[in-house]
Amino acid sequence: MKGMSLESENLPFNEYVYNDRWRSRTLDVKSYWDLHRRSIESFEEFWASIARELEWFKPWDKVLDASNPPFYKWFVGGELNLSYLALDRHVKTWRKNKLALIWEGEPVDQSGYPVDRRKLTYYDMWREVNRVAYMLRNNFGVRKGDRITIYLPMIPELPIVMYAAWRIGAITSVVFSGFSADALADRINDSQSRLVITADGFWRRGKVVRLKDIVDKALEKAPGVENVVVYRRLGLNDVPMTEGRDWFWEKALAGVPHNAYVEPERLESTHPSYILYTSGTTGKPKGIIHDTGGWAVHVYATMKWVFDVRDDDIYWCTADIGWVTGHSYIVLGPMLMGATQIMYEGAPDFPQPDRWWAIIERYGVSILYTSPTAIRTFMRFGEEWPRKHDLSTLRIIHSVGEPINPEAWRWAYTNLGSQNVAFGSTWWMTETGGIVISHAPGLYLAPMKPGTNGPPLPGFEVDVVDESGKPAPPGVRGYLVIKRPWPGMLHGIWGDPERYIKTYWSRFPGMFYAGDYAIRDQDGYIWVLGRADEVIKVAGHRLGTYELESAFISHPAVAEAAVIGVPDPIKGEVPIAFIVLKQGVAGTDELRKELRQHIRNTVGPIAEPAQIFFVSKLPKTRSGKIMRRLLRAVATNSPLGDTTTLEDETSVEEAKRAYEELKREVSQ
């Protein structure tokens, strides 16, 4: 198995954890399952009752239209608007001047105090969103259904632009600001965006990242873009601007009244709100499409159940909005709830490894949503860093993005949560739109166990099945599936309905195939172990190994490439590459460096391989398929397994030799 080595034999299936704060909400396992069973028995009514808690311009006629699977439709006939739900609704109440957002930029003064801070109330956000919506509509002619590519760092303008787009029914395509020019160009072209919204740059670990320069490079390959709006986060005075195409924020807002009001469009529940590109098992990222109504209901329900958000909470999700976690649990979720949340621009260890703990103390954060990689990084820095700060306001911590190993869970539970928090590992994916398997302290907490994802949430029918689609017995590894549609589900892949059916609904007919290995324990808890396909999670960031291979092959020196993920103690997994060079090209250290840089430039810094091995051939089947499984075995020192389909045995021996040689060099 790949991924963080969650060896099934060592998983603490029987280690139940209780604490005083959550005792009254902790149900025994059987009662939790009774509750879950009832939600499934009255499935549609169950989801309808939650949907009724939101405000609809027009109620739905049908909860779920399953007449054309897998093209399911939720809350058909209903009309709503996300911008209205997250803003107008609160502005009409006492929450009007409640803080929606507390933002900290990365730079600090001599004493370590942040120098860039912004606090925005719900009313501030509402006013800004209206102005930007007006700008999009009147100055750039954006209409319902148009796609806008948003390439912004973690600044308040990112959610503001997204809500402005949703207010007028435009479809957002947010591209993570750590992606390269090529990755950005692909996403602009695939979504056919004519407008890009970006910034001059941002701070990351004490350095300036010049974002607009990357956009300019991308636009050389994306000729369809007509306008670029540039927010000045840094106030750089040497930003190249193309006349007639590029507009600084203030210019873009020309003619927009300060008190602009844009009537929120009455959008059908099934209207797409966003596309988010994610990696799969081919070289081409897929644009996952999400609707409006179903997504809102799913995110709203999970905000209540999983995060138990109340009006006096200070909520902080440390993800980047460029990933799905930020879409659902920074942009939409907290604002649907009228919560106050923290947003931080920079690196967790800047200027020191206690930046996060200082933030928690400064604002009294009570709910923290973070990643196993972050926790393992902090573990390495040591517990003296959290100990410098008062973290006693924390009452709920959850992690997401990859499996959390029990040691990391115990460390955070003790050193961040003083053994008195609810703490879970929420499983979901870009495709699910919201959390699916998780502890739900806002509802009832099933007893915690270090490292588990817990039971599925109410309303979700999840299973672990064997190769033939039959339920796997408890304790036996199988494939994770979802057996019924759910409100936040994806509604296809942009421009590729066939791929949608093939990727998710064909492996096990009638079930959604997640692509993860999982185990169900004797209590019915799910333990997701890692990906079962060619997708890897590097520090929680999702990357396709084929994507990286295509990037390698685009370099003139490379003939063939095989990329695999191998376990890493901090990042969960890291990519390593086996490369066959073109005839006559020498495999030097210089070239290795160049290839690393090439990957940073074509995919992004997060994709940089940990190691590059030069080999003369790759292990392949007789039909010519690369056997990555064997390379993985070599790199993890595990048995090769069945090699009967291998065409040329020496390829594996060579990979082994290359691997051992490099290991020797590193240890010298």
Give the residues lining the site for ligand 6R9 (CB under 6 A): 278, 323-325, 400-403, 425-430, 453, 514-516, 528, 531, 537, 542
Distances 508 to 315, 461, 512, 525 between C-alpha atoms, Å = 38, 15, 7, 22
DSSP-derived 3-state class of residue 558: strand
Least separation in angstroms between residue 565's CB and ligand 6R9 is 11
Least separation in angstroms between residue 427's CB and ligand 6R9 is 4
Least separation in angstroms between residue 537's CB and ligand 6R9 is 5
C-alpha 180 chain-centroid distance: 17
Q: Which is nearer to ligand 6R9, 166 or 323 (CB)?
A: 323
Q: Which is nearer to ligand 6R9, 409 or 552 (CB)?
A: 409
Residues 6+ apart with CB under 8 A from 570: 373, 376, 377, 380, 539
Q: Which is nearer to ligand 6R9, 426 or 503 (CB)?
A: 426
Terminal alpha carbon distance of the chain = 29
Buried-exposed string 438-463: b where 16+ CB fall within 10 A, e elsewhere: bbbbbbbbbbbbbbbbbbbbbbbbbb
Q: Which is nearer to ligand 6R9, 247 or 329 (CB)?
A: 329
Is residue 477 packed enough to be buried (19+ CB in 10 Å), middle (13-18) or exposed (0-12)?
A: middle
Q: Which is nearer to ligand 6R9, 340 or 453 (CB)?
A: 453
Least separation in angstroms between residue 515's CB and ligand 6R9 is 6
DSSP-derived 3-state class of residue 295: helix
Tokens of 573: 């997994």
Least separation in angstroms between residue 302's CB and ligand 6R9 is 12
Q: Which is nearer to ligand 6R9, 75 or 316 (CB)?
A: 316
Least separation in angstroms between residue 556's CB and ligand 6R9 is 32
Q: Which is nearer to ligand 6R9, 227 or 282 (CB)?
A: 282
E strand intervals along 35-191: 62-65, 73-76, 79-80, 99-104, 117-121, 147-151, 171-174
CA distance 172 to 303: 22
Q: Which is nearer to ligand 6R9, 156 or 401 (CB)?
A: 401
Residues 6+ apart with CB under 8 A from 321: 152, 154, 158, 159, 162, 174, 327, 330, 331
Q: Which is nearer to ligand 6R9, 428 or 546 (CB)?
A: 428
CA distance 589 to 255: 56
Residues counted in the chain: 668
Least separation in angstroms between residue 635's CB and ligand 6R9 is 19
Least separation in angstroms between residue 212's CB and ligand 6R9 is 27
Least separation in angstroms between residue 533's CB and ligand 6R9 is 9
Phi, psi of 12 (to 5 degrees): -80, 70
Q: Which is nearer to ligand 6R9, 446 or 655 (CB)?
A: 446
C-alpha 300 chain-centroid distance: 17
Least separation in angstroms between residue 100's CB and ligand 6R9 is 23
Residues 6+ apart with CB under 8 A from 44: 63, 64
Number of neighbouring beta carbons within 10 Å of residue 374: 22
Least separation in angstroms between residue 69's CB and ligand 6R9 is 22
Helix (H) or strand (E) holding 464: strand 462-465
Q: Which is nearer to ligand 6R9, 159 or 433 (CB)?
A: 433
Q: Of 269, 227, 258, 271, whose CA–CA distance to 136 is shortest?
A: 227
Query: Cis bond leading into 70, ω under 30°?
Result: yes
